[in-house]
Amino acid sequence: MNKSDTLIFTIKNQEEMTQFACDFSRLLSPNHFIAMQGEVGVGKSTFVRAAIQFLCQEPDLIVPSPTFTLFQQYDAPIASIIHADFYRLSSPEEVEDLGWFDLIQDAILFVEWPENIADIMPETHISVKIVDDPDFFDAREIVIQTKDMAFLNLLSNKFPTQNENA
């Protein structure tokens, strides 16, 4: 990826993260694959929870972290949503046993620890990397990278003033 594939956003606190996740989700459509990256506890599930609540139009929907179940499926008006967490995946082959390839048809996917299924990630996946701000406890940087230029254009049009890296 080079800089023209990348947008960077600065988030001050969890409330702003929730708002960003909603604004981001508004641009999604079936078959988008969102690779959620970042260190343990940085906020990947928090972002996905807000996105799923928004897409399902249910602000109080319970969205547990799927660390042990590997994935959870939600029915949103726009598409089926899959929230996966592959931290505990023992081998890439294990996803096949989950019926993964049938499940993901026309779905919107949010995958935490996508590094563990790197070989089967679509080339046009959208990487959302959340990075801690060492100076402010609740602040984060969100680095978005993708070869899906149509999506990147949608995002930079939505946030014209925050595009620090164009």
Which residues lie near ligand ATP (CB under 6 A)? 11, 13-14, 17, 38, 40-46, 65, 85, 112, 138, 140
Of the two residues 22 and 147, which places its CB atom closer to ligand ATP in the complex?
22
Of the two residues 5 and 141, which places its CB atom closer to ligand ATP in the complex?
141
Of the two residues 43 and 152, which places its CB atom closer to Mg ion in the complex?
43
**Which residues contact Mg ion (rule: CB under 5 A)?**
44-45, 65, 112
Of the two residues 31 and 65, which places its CB atom closer to Mg ion in the complex?
65
CB atoms within 10 A of CB 99: 9
Which residue has the CB atom at the shortest distance from Mg ion? 45
Contact 85, 38 (CB under 8 A): no
Which residue has the CB atom at the shortest distance from ligand ATP? 43
Give the residue among 129, 145, 127, 144 at the shortest CA–CA distance from 35: 127
**Residue 13 binding target from ligand ATP, Mg ion, none, CB below 5 to 8 Å by type:** ligand ATP
CB atoms within 10 A of CB 62: 8
Taking the C-alpha atoms of residue 22 and residue 24, their distance in angstroms, rounded to an integer, is 5
Residue that is written with structure tokens 């294990």 in the block: 94
Least CB distance to ligand ATP at residue 13 (A) = 5
Hey, is 84 helix, strand or coil?
Answer: strand
